[in-house]
Structure 1
Amino acid sequence: MPYEYRGKNYHVSSKRWGVLLLSCWMLFMDMLCFCFFSFINDITSWYFHTTPAVTDWLASTHLIGRVFGSVAMCLTGWMGLRNTAVCGSTLNATASILIAVGVYLNVFAIAIAGAFVNGVSSGILLAMMQLITVTWFPPEEKGKATSAPWVARRVSLVASNIISTKAMGSSIFNNPTWISKINNETNGELRSTFKWTYVVVFGVFSTLSLICSVVSRIYITEAPPVFEGNDECAKEGTDENTSLLEPRKSASLRKELRDMINMLRNPSMILLFVLTVLVASDATLGIVLISSIVETEFLQEDDQSVGIVSAVGIIIGSLGSVVTGQILDKFRKPKITFICLATFLSASLVSFSMSLHLHSLPGVYATCLLMSVPRDALLVCIVHLIASVVSDQSHSIQIKVFSMATISAAISIAISTIVIRAAMTYASTALAILFPLPFLLLSIFCYLCFWQKLQKVAA
């Protein structure tokens, strides 16, 4: 199809969508490992003889690893797309093996190491996905391309939810209150079931990730197959590619650091990272802490019940992401879209807090579903904005901007998790979950005040 890039008219093959979907599958596997224990946090703490607050570190360590992976991408922007994909999927296979070993040996430290390696692979794969969307797709397709990886991540959450909460096939196992009352013999049987079930599960994860690594090496190219000119038939059968990306040459560490410093001196780039931090502060409520939040206030609920609601919410959020991508492509109203979504999410957060304060379980579940749409869609808006701003920058700058955005989001989610968990312990749950509210309101203020500046950079 025609693709105008820097004043030239190209025809781009459909292979770019194939590479994008393959990359989405790699990200799907990566997110399976990340979110797996979040849906059974209390059960995991029981198995490892620790507390839910400690098992939160499986998610927090993943986010720390994601920062390391993103920093590595910042300093190795010369690495080609194929090698990036192979490296990311191989690291994820390694992470799955480490987690399986940690579960088998009942050693929490090994599982933590696996979560860290999984985070490193996430930092690499997220930067790669964002680079593909910004360099391989024209403006009228960027919204759909941006939403595709996000949908893959959300579908992965649903799969992780279903596998983790249903794999045991025991209602007793999914209720920590019952576990504390059973005898030692049954306790040992449940531990054995947990161990072998999740060793097999993460063994499958590792195998699929290795397959992704092999396919990536064979199938992914450094740029989509393209050729210049209007007569597509005239070029049929050629094996030559005209790269849409800047030539990737190895750069010295000094040059990479200089590029990063110059990027961080740009006020517009700083604003993008600040917006990412503000918007991502709410993400932890939908994944990492949702089970603990509900079960703290409603003792009769268990991981399985919360998991069903979470899965439905994730599906609804995925649909919202797709719709947002279509809106950004067809109507080109990013400012109005962002402000409406941020306002919607703020109002939903207040409703969630009120439902907890009133101890209304139907209200809590309803607002959980309501919050999933604007939360996911708002993050799609941020990625789309970053893609618009850096679309004409060099490959090195693009990879650094996306990596820094990933770092910003990871730090925001980790800090939010720690603060909200502490507030739940020492204050009240209804008050704790309002922590992201001022940051969401501040994101609206920043977006309104600096919109013209962002538009000028994107143009």
Structure 2
Amino acid sequence: MPFKFQGKSYHVSSKRWGVLLLSCWILFMDMLCFCFFSFINDITSWYFHTTPTVTDWLASTHLIGRVIGGIGICLTGRLGVRKIAVCGSALNAVASILISLGVFFNLFPIAIAGALVNGVSSGILLTMMQLITVTWFPPEENGTATSAPWVARRVSLLISNIISTKAMGSSIFDNSIAISTLKDGADREFRATFKRTYVIVFGVFSALSLLCSVVSRIYITDEPPVFEINGECSEERIDDSTSLLELQKTTNLQTALRELINVFRNQSLILIFVLVAFISSDATLGIILISSVVETKFRLENDQSVGIISAAGIIIGSLGSVVTGQILDKFRKPRVTYICLAILLSASLASFAVSLRLHNLPGVYATYLLMSVPRDALLVCIVHRIASVVSDQSHSVQIKVFSIATVSAAISLALSTIVIRAIMTHVSTSLAVLFPLPFLLLSIGCYVYFWSTLQNSTRL
């Protein structure tokens, strides 16, 4: 299927789908490592003899690491897709080993170190996934390719949810008994089960991540398998010495810094980074804090029941991402799609807060599921827009733009987690969940402004 890239026409082989699938699996393993503690935050705090507020730092440290990884790859700007996949998988293996050691020896600082390394891995791998959607897929397949990583990330949430809640909940806790009332025998059983489960699980994560690193080194190439089209489709493959990405790589630090400055001078890209931050402010309610939000308002609920609803939300959100990708590919209505999704998320978030205020548990769960549909779909829309903006830019510029977007999302997620947790603690839970609402409404105005004024001013 021919498409334009760097001013020339190319045909890309079907290997692009194999590389996308392998990359999604690598990202799946990375997100599994991050997600395990997110679903059982209160139980994790009990195991490490601390509080849920302190164990929030597992997620916060992961996000700090994601910022470090994003900034690191942004300043480098020279890594190809293969090196990014290999390095990201290897770092995730190291992270899994550190978390396993932290759990085995009951040392929270080691688990924190593992979360940090896992975050660095995520920052690198998220950039890789977005690069592949730009350089390996023609525009008419870009929406589908963009949605695939989001589905992989959400499926990892689902799997980690199932394993953690089944292993930690049903065999030890009765739904009507709080963790704080555990007897000595049950406490010992819980700690033994926790340690055994997590050492085994993270050991498997480490082995699979190392396998991914080896397979990536063999299978993934730094450039898409392309054939240049001269008038009619030519069957001559571009020689490795003159590959697409090799021709685009920067040659020195001065050039890389100049490109970075030009990125921040571009109003369109700055506005896109702001949009990413605005949308990401809501993600913490779907991943990190949903258990604490529900259990704060409904004392008899526990991680198991919330986990079931979270699993349903993940499935619904994944379907929403796939459908959005298809809409962007087939109907080409990105502006209408984005605005409708943003309005739906804003309305469902407001309904979520009202249900909490009225202490209506079915309403809370129903609106949470409704929120799951547009949350990931909005990010698919934004990544799709970034891909179209930077498709004709150099490889180094593409890395910088995608890594800055990753950093922007991570910072927003970390800050919103801190703010929402603080409002929950000192004011009210109902008010806390409304924190992302103004930013979602602002994102609609920003997107309309971008589309009407800045969409064509993207040259660097």
Normalised-by-shorter TM-score class: over 0.9
Q: Which residue of 2 aligns with 1:204?
A: 204
Identify if the C-alpha distance between structure 1 residues 176 and 257 changes in structure 2 by more than 3 Å, giving closer, same or farther. Answer: farther
CA distance in 2, matches of 1:253, 1:46: 48
Whether the aligned pair in 2 keeps the contact of 1:98 and 1:114 (CA below 8 Å) is yes
Match runs of 1:407-426 below 5 Å: 407-426=407-426
**Which deviations, in whole Å up to 9, do the C-alpha atoms of 1:138-195 show, x marking residues without a partner?**
1101000100111111111101111111123635337594432232232112111110
Aligned counterpart, 1:371: 371
The percent of aligned pairs where both chains have the same amino acid is 74
Aligned-pair Cα RMSD in Å: 1.9
Structure 2 CA distance for aligned equivalents of residues 197 and 175 of structure 1: 21
Matches within 5 A, 1:28-427: 28-168=28-168, 170-173=170-173, 177-229=177-229, 235=235, 240=239, 243-245=243-245, 247-249=247-249, 251-427=251-427
- For 2:157 and 2:273, locate their aligned partners in 1 and report how far apart those are by CA, in whole Å: 25
Q: Match of 1:436, as an amino acid?
A: P
Distance 2:5 2:262 in 1: 25
Q: Distance in 2 between matches of 1:403 and 1:6?
A: 21
Give the SS at the match of 1:420: helix
User: Aligned AA for 1:429?
Assistant: T
Q: Decide whether the 8 Å contact of 1:135 with 1:244 is kept in 2.
A: no
Structure 1, unmatched stretches of 5+, are none
So what's the TM-score if we normalise by structure 1? 0.96
CA contact (8 A) 1:11 1:232 kept: no
Q: Which amino acid aligns with 1:322?
A: V
Tell me the SS of whatever aligns to 1:435.
Answer: coil
1:229 is displaced (CA, Å) by 3.6
Structure 2 SS opposite 1:3? strand
In structure 2, how many angstroms separate the alpha carbons of the residues matched to 1:249 and 1:312? 43
* Alignment check: 8 A CA contact 2:249 2:396 kept: no
Q: For residue 287 of structure 1, what is the amino acid of its counterpart?
A: I
Residues 357-410 of structure 1 show CA distances to partners (whole Å, capped at 9, x for unaligned) of 010110000011000001111111111111111111111111000000000000
Name the SS of the counterpart of 2:170 in structure 1: coil
Q: Is the 8 A contact 1:78 1:248 kept in 2?
A: no
Q: Secondary structure at the match of 1:10?
A: strand
SS at match of 1:228: strand
Distance in 2, matches of 1:249 and 1:135, equals: 14
1:451 matched to which residue of 2? 451
Deviation at 1:269, TM superposition (A): 1.3
User: What SS class does the counterpart of residue 247 from structure 1 fall into?
Assistant: helix
**Which stretches in structure 2 are left out of the alignment for 5+ residues?**
none
Counterpart CA distance in 1 for 2:439 and 2:330 is 29
- Counterpart of 2:183, as a letter, is N
Deviation at 1:231, TM superposition (A): 11
CA distance 1:352–1:169, shift in 2 (3 Å): closer
1:47-91, Cα deviation, whole Å (9 max, x unpaired): 000000110110000000000000011111111221111000000
Distance apart, 1:267 and its partner CA:
1.3
SS at match of 1:457: coil
Count of paired positions? 458
Deviations 1:215-252 (A, max 9, x none): 0000001112122248999849x795673435254633
Q: Which residue of 2 aligns with 1:440?
A: 440
CA–CA distance in structure 2, aligned partners of residues 454 and 115 of structure 1: 38
Q: 2:4 & 2:390 partners in 1: Cα distance?
A: 17
One-letter code aligned to 2:162: I
CA distance in 2, matches of 1:415, 1:239: 46
